[in-house]
Amino acid sequence: MIDRYNRDINYLRVSVTDRCNLRCTYCMPKEGLSRIGHDDILKYEEILQIIKIAAGEGITKVRITGGEPLVRRGVTEFIASLRTIPELTDISLTTNGILLETYAERLFEAGIRRINISLDSLNADKYAKITRGGDIQAVLQGIRKVRETGFSPVKINIVAIKGFNDDEILDFARLTLDHPYQIRFIELMALGEAGIENNGRYLANSAIREQISTLGTLQAVNGRGSKDGGPAQIYRLAGGAGEIGFISPVSRHFCHSCNRLRLTADGHLRACLLSDDEVDLKGPLRRGGDNKEIGELIQKAIARKPRQHQESCNEGHIKKCMKEMPAIGG
Ligand code: SAM
Ligand code: SF4
């Protein structure tokens, strides 16, 4: 599926729920979301059908996300069912890790190997503050469990927030000296209502990189970012066991190589995270649309994929994107 800007669209991120067992201040309002009624959330059979059709149109990689994917009942069985789609070469998961200790083995059996875990602080009190009540011990036990179970790579996502975790950058980076994690720093984006919280808290990855380079030479891990089709610039501290990634959607947007589509929890296809332009798949599917019709709608979404997101990103604030991250699928 080559779009009009010559990008090969082969990656689908799927939000299986907009609900979450945390309330990160930069992502959710404190009362939570759950704006999507029970009937409006796609059923697993519907998601499976859409992914099958998308695979027929050229999707080879799927990431399961949310909201928190592990809070939706039956998610491991659903993930296992994706193995029936021969075109898929890569099925991965993004999670906050709170339920990982319980689910790690079942996820492994279901076929997941690549896992991203969000952890914005290494300090228990700060973690509880940013997540509005999360227990860091649960996440740390989850991380231990995924390593024991054999997942690889294990990536740890940190959203860099000025005045919150900028004093922990070196502690995170040092973890890669002894552990085979990929520690990834993500620039804060101002999205939806929670975006108001984010104003003025954005921290550019260039500043983080500068701090980390005081620990040693950052060696580029050649070609990895591009081979993954991923947006991260990846480095290793000389002699380190793990890697350090920088994902810079604000200061260095990667729209020119963006290969993604997003299936929202309420069944819409979104070609750009930061544009509210969506194509409804759920309506046509529930009205009995056949695979050909749904395939054409997928192509329509790709045809509308913008060249790049709004210019205002450069100021660290992204306008116009009114949907919250958990529903879209971060
Ligand atoms: N609940 C899971 C988790 O936290 O990993 C999966 C969904 S979450 C929306 C996916 C990723 O998006 C997380 O790494 C989270 O930190 C990131 N994220 C959420 N809001 C963000 C924002 N405003 N700017 C940058 N990253 C954000
Ligand atoms: Fe939940 Fe993930 Fe958003 Fe935090 S970042 S509120 S864990 S969906």
CA distance 17 to 134: 19
pLDDT at 246 (0 to 100):
95
pLDDT at 196 (0 to 100):
67
Domain containing residue 312: CATH number: 3.20.20.70
Any domain includes 133: yes
CA distance 179 to 174: 9
The pLDDT confidence band at residue 197, using thresholds 50, 70 and 90, is low
Report the nearest atom of ligand 2 relative to the CA of 66.
8
- Per-residue model confidence as pLDDT tens digits over 122-180: 999 999 999 999 999 999 999 999 999 999 999 999 999 999 999 999 999 999 999 99
Kindly tell me the burial class for residue 104, based on how many C-beta atoms sit within 10 Å of its own C-beta (0-12, 13-18, 19 or more). buried
Any domain includes 41: yes
Question: What residues are in contact with ligand 2 under a 6 Å CB criterion?
Answer: 20, 22-24, 27-28, 66-68, 96, 118, 325-326
Q: Is residue 101 helix, strand or coil? A: helix
Any domain includes 6: no
CA distance 17 to 69: 6
Any domain includes 138: yes
Question: What residues are in contact with ligand 1 under a 6 Å CB criterion?
Answer: 20, 26-27, 65-66, 68, 94-96, 118, 157, 159, 186, 188-189, 191, 198, 325-326, 330
Task: State which of 72, 159, 324 you would mutate to test the pocket of ligand 1, scoring each by most atoms of that ligand within 8 A of its C-beta.
Answer: 159
The pLDDT confidence band at residue 93, using thresholds 50, 70 and 90, is very high
In the chain, the number of structural domains is 1
Any domain includes 1: no
Nearest-ligand number for the alpha carbon of 19: 2
Phi (first) and psi of residue 38, to 5 degrees: -55, -40
Q: What is the mean pLDDT of the chain?
A: 89
- Per-residue model confidence as pLDDT tens digits over 277-294: 899 999 999 999 999 999
Q: Between the CA of residue 15 and those of 12, 39, 49, 143, 328, what are the distances in Å?
A: 10, 16, 15, 22, 6
Phi (first) and psi of residue 3, to 5 degrees: -90, -175
Residue-number span of the structural domain to which 178 is assigned: 11-328
Report the nearest atom of ligand 2 relative to the CA of 23.
6
Any domain includes 2: no
CA distance 68 to 65: 7
pLDDT at 253 (0 to 100):
75
Structure tokens belonging to residue 254: 């990667």
Q: Both ends of the chain: CA-CA distance in Å?
A: 22
The pLDDT confidence band at residue 201, using thresholds 50, 70 and 90, is confident
pLDDT at 198 (0 to 100):
73
**Distance from Cα 9 to the centre of ligand 1, integer Å:** 22
**Distance from Cα 154 to the centre of ligand 2, integer Å:** 18
Any domain includes 106: yes
Which residues neighbour 312 within 8 Å (Cβ) at sequence distance 6 or greater? 318, 319
CA distance 200 to 62: 33
> Nearest CA to 41 among 21, 59, 70, 14?
14
Structure tokens belonging to residue 246: 């920088």
Kindly tell me the burial class for residue 123, based on how many C-beta atoms sit within 10 Å of its own C-beta (0-12, 13-18, 19 or more). middle
The model's pTM is: 0.92
Any domain includes 141: yes
Q: Do residues 270 and 330 touch, judged by C-beta distance below 8 A?
A: no
User: Position 109: which residue type?
Assistant: E
CA distance 236 to 213: 11
